[in-house]
A and B are shown apart, each in its own frame.
Chain A
């Protein structure tokens, strides 16, 4: 917890800034990060945005993760990763050694020690906003990150834009996050449903044939909708047809009425656009309904879970996920230097390997810090510009690019298959990497999704 008392002036600052922003426009932005450091600081001293300028000897990051509610375990893992990231930023180690190009020193950021505060999103957009706002207003954070649900991420992203605080998304997989709801102050390192579809489509067609009939069950919210759309589009491109889709309420415990509908149809593939507990329930019950040992249209019926996470796989149980296809952003068994550096330091610290949620949160924190170093300032518009179009490697397999136009990070992703009880070698070894899909195969034109990033200075 840090002691920050400069809050009473906050609203006044905002007022000044709000009135000035309209006229000053982009003029001030003509100054760029290449100016001498001290000069830059002075020039921006009056241009307060969010919690810039940073006072004192330390800079505060806010980590807003689900500590209660359905995704609390994921949140706990994210928080572990954040703490590790802060440790590495202050003391060196981890991916600091592998990130290229890197301006990180391992002695804080821009000469300031990194401090952090944590908050609880409760996996609820409203609670997440409240918590984020508290970090901004009370704790004076310069950036915040986290989240384990797209609705939560999107809600926080809008807040970030309003407040002028950079938001580094945690686990969020909806196309909307960097699509129709993209914001200038929000950045996503995690992949999205579109990439899942693009990576998964050909592999499914190759494995199960091109004349499959799919039935979707979809969680009724932003992420579910976009994933349904993406998987449908990409499987249909491969020649599949879509029999039907049922929107299921978030948090359904018994899916039997929907599974009965699947049984009654002539579909021979079941696609579960569910995440977390919803997926645990729907997959387990689909297996109980015999959907993995059944024949339809003369073919073996198949179940697909497009978005996988190790924690989810653990919750569903090894026998249920055995052989089920899906995609994932990252897995701890990857052998590239960046992943290994992270896994080793994480295991040394906590005694078990990190989840993909942890990896994305860790990477995001380092990327933000690095952008500050590159920009030479915490001034948000400059940090944003440093992140936009940033190409790097050493945070996972292959080269990664933060696309400037939509703040989506493009990098290699994984198509995986669940490992059955007899194939897995340990408690955490649940996913088998089927294919390593290259960045160039899943990239898409920026105009695929509508939406505007908005201004560099919050309105």
Chain B
């Protein structure tokens, strides 16, 4: 990484963003060609936002959170309640959701980041599960319990109804901005700090860096992505399920990240796309045994492609142009291979 000079990196970033934007914005046109449909495109984009944010935590700092559902779900409930009781406009709802997420992430970060590794994972899991249970029982009156929270109002953005493609382009714009910010973070001194935490937090501490602050900020940024995704999910479909807070939602984002390629930013989004495409399109062709097939694919990817799809792509590229991609490949593989230690 360090060998790269700054100017080419930002030029590369520009190109990456342009290609990314083109692919995302044209999704409603190409996705139906491969059996998808418009609403799926929106859902993919929303999960991609979640995945990019998750990679800022897992990929950069190496902290494996099993509790990101807490941010995704809490934000979704906030948005839902705002849309239902305050205003049908999405801006105040999203604003409130982000505020709530930031506050929550601050609190949880202060508590959970005192631990690392599996203990951090379990702490975040425990908190998220408490939220889930509370939404199901104690706060049933607010959340609708297992029935979920349903709004009959259609959300709108400054008078534009948020339906169909409108939601898609709104979410896509946020995804592009979110991806751009993530790229900037990766190449910034702050991003470098985060990645140093992953390689050796102890040494960093000895050099006088206040590691906790960096971790905390990284955690919060990542949570905001999850919160934005949760909020968008409700705008896309005016319904909040308690499952949004369940550990399986956290698990899903972990799975997406790993099969896509942790630490690559693009990879987790690829993973999200694959998972949603599989669950919604391929599933219908396989029928009842779709989960079995997904489980097998999932195992095969973890066994044979430790760096996820991104490693697969690199190998493919390496096979086509020997030596050409090896530099970047080695670097990313190394970062992908040791998360959460």
Contacts and interface: CB of A to CB of B under 8 A. Distances in A.
- Is the contact region of chain B dominated by helix, strand, or loop, or is it mixed? helix
A130 B281 CA distance: 12
Given A124-B243, A138-B37, A129 B146 contact: no
A204 interface: no
A18 B161 contact: yes
Interface in A136-188: 137-138, 150-151, 154-155, 158-159, 161-162, 176, 181
Contacts of A11: 38, 163-166
Residue in A129, A130, A137 with the greatest tally of chain B CB atoms within 10 Å: A130
A220 B148 contact: no
Contact of A154 (B38, B147, B161): B147
Contacts of B133: 249
Contacts of B165: 11
B252 to A, nearest CB: 11
Contacts of A120: 283, 288, 290
A18 B37 CA distance: 22
Interface stretch (B59-67, B103-111, B234-242, B312-320): B234-242
B280 A134 contact: yes
B291 interface: yes
Given A18-B154, A158-B239, A249-B133, A7 B288 contact: no
Interface in A89-141: 117-120, 124-127, 129-130, 133-134, 137-138
Given A124-B241, A155-B239, A220-B137, A459 B37 contact: no
Contacts of A129: 237, 239, 241
A331 interface: no
Interface in A430-459: 454, 459
Nearest to A13: B164
B75 to A, nearest CB: 15
Interface residues on B, range: 35 or more
Interface in B263-295: 280, 283-284, 287-288, 290-291
A162 B239 CA distance: 11
B146 A137 contact: no
A120 to B, nearest CB: 7
Nearest to A154: B147
B148 A126 contact: yes
Contact of A220 (B136, B237, B288): B136
Contact of B38 (A8, A15, A150, A459): A8
A344 interface: no
A61 to B, nearest CB: 15
B284 A125 contact: no
Interface string B19-36: 000000000000010001
A120 B281 CA distance: 12
A67 interface: yes
Interface string B157-197: 00001011110000000000000000000000000000000
B17 interface: no
A218 B40 CA distance: 37
Interface string B34-68: 00111110010000000000000000000000000
A348 interface: no
B40 A134 contact: yes
Interface in B59-113: none
B150 interface: yes
A162 B288 contact: no
Contact of A459 (B136, B152, B164, B239): B152
A76 B128 CA distance: 33
B38, B133, B146, B152 — most chain A CB neighbours (10 Å): B146
The listed residue with most B CB atoms (<10 A of its CB), out of A11, A12, A150, is: A11
Contacts of A289: none
Contacts of B291: 68
B37 A126 contact: no
Nearest to A79: B288
Contacts of A424: none
A108 B239 CA distance: 35
B152 A221 contact: no
A7 B161 contact: no
Size bracket, chain A contacts = 35 or more
A247 to B, nearest CB: 7
A1 interface: yes
B219 interface: no
A245 interface: no
A137 B147 contact: no
Interface string A57-75: 0000000000110001000
Contacts of A161: 152
A121 B277 CA distance: 16
Contacts of A127: 243
A454 B152 contact: yes
A250 interface: yes
Interface string B184-218: 00000000000000000000000000000000000
A137 B154 contact: no
A399 interface: no
B76 to A, nearest CB: 10
A14 interface: yes
Task: Name the residue in B43, B147, B241, B290 with the highest tally of chain A Cβ atoms < 10 Å from its Cβ.
Answer: B147
A134 B44 CA distance: 14
A222 interface: yes
A125 B163 contact: no
- Find the residue from A129, A138, A222, A249 having the highest chain B CB count within 10 A: A138
A8 B243 CA distance: 30
Given A14-B163, A125-B241, A126-B243, A247 B152 contact: no
B288 A76 contact: yes
Contact of A162 (B32, B238, B244): B238
B145 interface: yes
Contact of A176 (B37, B147, B152, B166): B147
Interface of A: 1, 5, 7-8, 10-12, 14-15, 18, 67-68, 72, 76, 117-120, 124-127, 129-130, 133-134, 137-138, 150-151, 154-155, 158-159, 161-162, 176, 181, 220-222, 247, 249-250, 454, 459
Given A10-B164, A138-B40, A158-B239, 6 more contacts: A11-B165, A12-B164, A68-B291, A126-B241, A133-B237, A134-B40
Interface of B: 32, 36-40, 43, 133, 136-137, 145-148, 150, 152, 154, 161, 163-166, 237-239, 241, 243-244, 280, 283-284, 287-288, 290-291
Give 5 nearest A-B pairs by CB, closest first: A11-B164, A221-B146, A126-B241, A138-B37, A151-B146
19 contacts: A7-B32, A10-B38, A11-B163, A14-B163, A15-B161, A15-B164, A67-B288, A68-B288, A120-B290, A125-B241, A126-B244, A134-B37, A150-B147, A151-B145, A155-B147, A155-B239, A220-B145, A247-B137, A249-B137
